[in-house]
Amino acid sequence: MKEYDEEILHYFLEHQTQLFPEAVAESPEEAEEFLEDCMAVVCKNIKEVRDYFDDAGMDVAGMSEEELLEASEVFAIPDGRFLVVEG
């Protein structure tokens, strides 16, 4: 199974300007290629998002869940998962 399923790809396509000033992908295939190139990560919950940022060396100890969710790199997928894309 691909890491970036159809829901992830379509959500990213619709919301990519959250992180980038203009579109970086125009199709699900382009979105998948872009996410792979960026090594974007799909997290199943906010704890995994926190762990990801912590492992990446970001100081998130004092950040609330809301502050994590407000980060432009974090895309909250409607099914409860999160996509983290570092631009």
Helix (H, G, I), strand (E, B) or coil at 42: strand
pLDDT of 53 = 94
Whether the per-residue pLDDT at 25 is higher than 90: the answer is: yes
Q: Domain segments of the chain: what residues?
A: 4-82
Residue 42 pairs in a beta bridge with 83
pLDDT of 1 = 34
Q: What is the pLDDT of residues 36-83, one digit of tens each?
A: 999 999 999 999 999 999 999 998 989 999 999 999 999 999 999 999
Locate 57 and state its tokens.
């060396």
Residue 6 sits at the vertex; the CA angle it makes with 74 and 9, to the nearest 5 degrees, is 40
Mean pLDDT of 18-22: 94
Asked if 18 contacts 75 with a C-beta cutoff of 8 angstroms, the reply is: yes
pLDDT of 51 = 95
Whether the per-residue pLDDT at 2 is higher than 90: the answer is: no
Locate 7 and state its tokens.
């829901």
pLDDT of 87 = 65
Whose tokens are 């970086």? That residue is: 24
Strands across the sheet containing 41-43: 41-43, 82-84, 74-76
